[in-house]
Structure 1
Amino acid sequence: MRQKQAKEKTLKQLVDNGDERIEVFEARKNAKKRKRKIRKRVFVVLILLVVGIVGFLISPLAGISTITVSGNQYLSAAQIRELAGITEGSNFYFNPGFIIANRVEGSPIVNHATVTQNFGNRVEIVVEEFKPLFWYSDKDGQKHIVITDQDGEKLLCTTDSTDASQENSESQNNAESQTTTNTESVPNKKDCLTEEEKTNRIVQDIVVENEFNTNGIPLATNLTEQQIVDLSQAMSFVPESTREMISEINGTPTELDPNLLTLYMNDRNIVELEINKVAKSLRNYKSIVDKMNGQRIKIKFLDKIALTSQI
Structure 2
Amino acid sequence: MEKNKVVTLEDRIPKIREMRKQKANRRLVLSLSLFFILLSFIIYSQSSLSKVSSISVQGHQYVELETIIKVSEIKEGTSSFFQVKKADVESRIEELQEIKSATVNKELPNNIHIDIEEYKRIAYILNNGTYTPVIENGDILSSSTIDILPHDAALMIGWNNKVKVDEFINELMKLPESVIYAISEAHFTPNETDPNHITLFMNDGFEVSGTIRNFSSKMASYPSIIAQLDPEQKGVINIEVGVFFKPYDVELDGDEVEDEG
TM range (shorter): 0.5 to 0.7
Counterpart position of 1:259: 196
Matches within 5 A, 1:246-285: 246-285=183-222
By how many angstroms is 1:309 displaced?
2.3
Separation of aligned partners in 2, 1:207 and 1:101: 24
Separation of aligned partners in 2, 1:118 and 1:54: 16
Counterpart position of 1:95: 84
- Of 230, 245, 248, the match for 1:307: 245
Matches within 5 A, 1:88-237: 89=77, 91=79, 92-137=81-126, 144-149=132-137, 203-211=138-146, 214-223=150-159, 224-237=161-174
Separation of aligned partners in 2, 1:49 and 1:117: 19
- How many positions carry a matched residue from both structures? 211
The aligned amino acid for 1:233 is N
Separation of aligned partners in 2, 1:265 and 1:121: 50
Alpha-carbon spacing, 1:303–1:67, altered in 2? closer, same or farther (3 Å): same
Alpha-carbon spacing, 1:300–1:96, altered in 2? closer, same or farther (3 Å): same
The higher relative CO (CA closer than 8 Å, separation ≥ 6) is in 1
Task: For residue 75 of structure 1, give the secondary structure of its aligned residue in structure 2.
Answer: coil
Q: Indicate conservation of the 8 Å contact 2:133/2:141, yes or no.
A: yes
The TM-score with structure 1 as length reference comes to 0.57
Separation of aligned partners in 2, 1:215 and 1:85: 33
By how many angstroms is 1:145 displaced?
3.3
Task: For residue 213 of structure 2, give the secondary structure of its aligned residue in structure 1.
Answer: helix
Separation of aligned partners in 2, 1:120 and 1:287: 56
Matches within 5 A, 1:59-78: 59-60=48-49, 62-70=51-59, 72-78=60-66
Query: What's the CA shift string for 1:175-231, capped at 9, x where partnerless?
Result: xxxxxxxxxxxxxxxxxxxxxxxxxxxx33342223499541222121212211211
Counterpart position of 2:43: 52
Separation of aligned partners in 2, 1:117 and 1:48: 22
Alpha-carbon spacing, 1:80–1:108, altered in 2? closer, same or farther (3 Å): same
The aligned amino acid for 2:186 is I
Query: What's the CA shift string for 1:16-49, capped at 9, x where partnerless?
Result: xxxxxxxxxxxxxxxxxxxxxxxxxxxxx9x977
Query: What's the CA shift string for 1:131-177, capped at 9, x where partnerless?
Result: 433232557x875433344xxxxxxxxxxxxxxxxxxxxxxxxxxxx
By how many angstroms is 1:87 displaced?
6.0
Q: Indicate conservation of the 8 Å contact 1:261/1:272, yes or no.
A: yes
Query: Structure 2, unaligned stretches of length 5 or more?
Result: 1-35, 250-261
By how many angstroms is 1:250 displaced?
0.8
Structure number, greater radius of gyration: 1
Counterpart position of 2:26: none
Q: Indicate conservation of the 8 Å contact 1:66/1:121, yes or no.
A: no
Quote the RMSD (CA, aligned, Å): 3.4
Structure 1 or 2: more helix by fraction: 1
The TM-score with structure 2 as length reference comes to 0.66
Query: Structure 1, unaligned stretches of length 5 or more?
Result: 1-44, 150-202
Separation of aligned partners in 1, 2:183 and 2:70: 31
